[in-house]
């Protein structure tokens, strides 16, 4: 089990992280989300042992003492995949993956490389030199290399940032299933809400150097403590109760996702369409409601200037009152 207790860090005077504490069990997947610059990468570097903290970091019973005490940087049973994936460019994809594997049992090594190439869907490009691979292909090789020596904890910094949408979903499913099958704990620093929503067992939100929210991804999504947390999952509205309920004067805030606001043919809150964006399965409609902007999903494009009525479930409004 990984345990952080009061982990703090500053590159200069201003702390980047202050008193961060959490636990992670073996095989668990934790996503760390938050706006750019909130300290996600720094947290991974502290855990891996590249930066020194005054706080405490334990892996099981062992305290990790960081770079001041380790001759070779980084904990040997962890793997850290940074945003620049640092491949040996003259070597092939397969040789990069096998680089740190023992040559004592060549057949075993070959089999392991083959298995990892399959996990990242790079079998066909096994012999291609890394320098001739695209950014996304290099990132997949780097992921496989990080897995090669079967780490106990994998620290991934934006692991799919260079990979196209088409491959990303499949790769994510394969990689995270592999980690679960092999009981490898994982911390993913990410901007991509899918990494947090679909694959994480728990999610930590960082803001102002602290843990701002911490929960299962479903709980954070369904009951976001505030607009900042909700906006990490996509478009979000923050309206006042008086905007949504007739004869209500409360300025209490209600957080709603675009898919939770519906067009009504009969009654509802009056609004005027400003813009429509095609999103594939739905259109995202921007409308003005009491001089405020509101976003909702609809099955069709709506013309600018159209007067509409909007409805939100009362139960949902009650559950989202802040």
Q: Which residues lie near ligand ATP (CB under 6 A)?
A: 11, 16, 34, 36-42, 189
Return the number of the residue (42 or 53) whose C-beta is nearest ligand ATP: 42
Shortest separation between residue 73's beta carbon and ligand ATP, angstroms: 14
H/E stretch holding 288 reads strand 283-289
Residue number with CB closer to ligand ATP (20 or 38): 38
CB of 222 to ligand ATP, least distance (A): 25
Query: Taking the alpha carbons of 98, 102, 103, 105 in that order, is the dihedral positive or negative?
Result: negative
Least Å distance, CB 39 to ligand ATP, is 4
Q: Closer CB to ligand ATP, residue 97 or residue 232?
A: 232
Q: Which of 127, 139, 135 is nearest to 98 (CA)?
A: 127
Compute the C-alpha angle 117/27/145, nearest 5°: 25
242 class by beta-carbon count within 10 Å (0-12 exposed, 13-18 middle, 19+ buried): middle
Of the two residues 37 and 76, which places its CB atom closer to ligand ATP in the complex?
37
Rounded to a whole number of angstroms, the minimum distance from the CB of residue 99 to ligand ATP is: 26
Smallest separation (angstroms) from ligand ATP to the CB of 186: 17
CB 122 within 8 Å of CB 85? no
| Residue 301, φ and ψ in degrees, nearest 5 | -70, 145
- Biggest alpha carbon–alpha carbon distance for the chain: 78
Cβ proximity to ligand ATP, 204 vs 294, nearer residue? 204
- Rounded least distance, CB 63 to ligand ATP, Å: 23
Closest among 163, 157, 153, 97 to 127, alpha carbons compared: 97
Residue 38 vs 285, nearer CB to ligand ATP? 38
Q: What phi-psi label fits residue 43: left (phi over 0), alpha (psi between -120 and 50 degrees) or beta?
A: alpha
The DSSP-derived string for 84-96 is: S----TTSBHHHH
């Amino acid at each position: 089990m990984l345990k952080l207790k009061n982990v703090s860090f500053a590159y200069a005077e201003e702390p980047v992280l202050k008193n961060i504490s959490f636990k992670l069990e073996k095989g668990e997947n934790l996503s760390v989300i938050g706006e750019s610059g909130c300290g996600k990468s720094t947290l991974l570097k502290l855990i891996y042992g590249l930066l020194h903290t005054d706080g405490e970091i334990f892996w099981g019973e062992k305290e990790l003492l960081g770079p001041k005490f380790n001759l070779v940087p980084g904990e040997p049973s962890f793997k850290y995949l940074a945003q620049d994936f640092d491949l040996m460019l003259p070597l092939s994809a397969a040789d990069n993956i096998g680089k740190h594997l023992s040559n004592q049992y060549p057949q075993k090594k070959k089999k392991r490389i083959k298995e990892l190439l399959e996990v990242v869907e790079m079998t066909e490009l096994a012999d291609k030199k890394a320098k001739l691979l695209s950014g996304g292909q290099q990132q997949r090789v780097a992921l496989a290399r990080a897995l090669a020596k079967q780490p106990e904890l994998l620290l991934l910094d934006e692991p799919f940032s260079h990979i196209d949408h088409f491959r990303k979903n499949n790769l994510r499913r394969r990689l995270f299933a592999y980690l679960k099958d092999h009981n490898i704990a994982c911390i993913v620093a990410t901007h991509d809400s899918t990494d947090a929503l679909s694959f994480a067992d728990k999610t930590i939100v960082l803001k102002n150097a602290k843990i701002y929210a911490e929960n299962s991804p479903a709980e954070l999504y369904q009951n976001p403590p505030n607009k900042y947390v909700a906006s990490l999952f996509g478009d979000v509205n923050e309206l006042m109760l008086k905007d949504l309920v007739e004869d209500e004067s409360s300025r209490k805030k209600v957080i709603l996702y675009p898919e939770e606001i519906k067009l009504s043919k009969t009654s509802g809150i009056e609004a005027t369409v400003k813009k429509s964006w095609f999103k594939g399965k739905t259109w995202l409609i921007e409308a003005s409601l009491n001089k405020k902007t509101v976003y909702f999903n609809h099955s069709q494009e709506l013309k600018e200037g159209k007067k509409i009525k909007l409805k939100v479930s009362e139960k949902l409004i009650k559950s989202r009152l802040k």
